[in-house]
Amino acid sequence: MSEIMFWEAIRRAHDEEMSRDPMVICMGEDIGVAGGTYKATNGLFDKFGPERVIDTPISENGYTGLGIGASYLGVRPIIEIMSVNFAWLAMDQMFNTAAKVHYMSGGQLKAPVVIRSPGGTAHQLGAQHSARMEKVFMGIAGLRVVTPSNPRQAYGLLKSAIRCDDPVFINEHELMYNMKGEVDDKEFFMPLVGSEVARSGKDITLFGYNISVHWCLQAADILAKQHGIDAEVVDLYALSPLDREGIAASVSKTHRALIAEEAEPAVGVGSEIMAIINETCFYELDAPPVRVSAVNVPIPYNHTLEKAAIPTAQDVVKAVLKMFGK
């Protein structure tokens, strides 16, 4: 077991899979000579060369389509879109082509392509570089969506995604690349379906994904130490498909639920989780489920306003205390 950074875990998965299978390639802006904006492909250009580590023009729609087309012929591309904000430009290729080709071809074609992209609110990147788009991707039939919250997940999910015959979108968070965590030195894979109980508890379930998992864990510590509330934290690392059984099992255990998300609440991940809770375990609830979400505004550039627009662990604590009448 080694403690490594989030970006190092991603790079390790790239390296192992490219070494194992010559049909695995990676492509994207500045991923070659520069080693990637967040270092996730650092050193791969020197090891595997320009034919397998491809620096692309600034043309997300073009190179995403190129990678998807190559996947029809047996190539397994890992496409990096430098910022999820720029993924809007490639949505036609992802949604109308990769996600639908297996169904529309009657199973004759597959698109074993991985698309990685960082998103979320970082530090004063402005509204056009602070998108939280996971809810858009998880609404597309035929596309798997995962979002790691730690280096172990980042490694295991990418390994599994590369070997999956379905198109997989990996939603990473920009603030996590330098996060450290323990990763097994031996090769392992994480299932692309499911969730993890990051902290066991009995009084309320706090649901989070990527960065909001950490808010939930911080809030759970505060709630336990200062208020005697034992919160369970469930890490929803797979957003499509969602782990309906895992969600229901935890709520049936704690009888209360809160969903924390960095994105705006409308038509979001929290909305879908609340629908699942109402459909599967309504009569287990002791209180209505609650969402803690961003303010429904474009993310401001101003640092103070940016912070005001995004929820924190303290917001989770306040919402839980309100649920308990404290």
Token pair 């998108």 is at which residue? Answer: 131
Question: Dihedral angle at the C-alpha atoms of 162, 163, 168, 173, nearest 10 degrees?
Answer: -40
In 99-138 the beta strands, taken as DSSP E runs, fall at 114-119
φ, ψ at 195 (rounded to 5°): -150, 170
Q: How far apart are CA 121 and CA 133, in angstroms?
A: 11
134 is catalytic: no
Using only C-alpha atoms, the chain has a radius of gyration, in whole angstroms, of: 20
Q: Report cis status (omega within 30 of 0) of the bond before 112.
A: no
Contacts of 305 (CB under 8 A, 6+ apart): none
129 is catalytic: yes
DSSP summary character for residue 324: T
Catalytic residue among 8, 14, 80, 129: 129
Q: How far is CA 184 from CA 27, 151, 191, 288, 326, in A?
A: 27, 10, 16, 39, 42
Q: How far apart are CA 19 and CA 59, in angstroms?
A: 28
Catalytic residue among 17, 29, 60, 306: 60
CB-CB contact of 102 with 92 (8 Å): no
φ, ψ at 30 (rounded to 5°): 65, 25
Q: Is 301 helix (H, G, I), strand (E, B) or coil?
A: coil
CB-CB contact of 238 with 194 (8 Å): yes
Catalytic residues: 60, 129
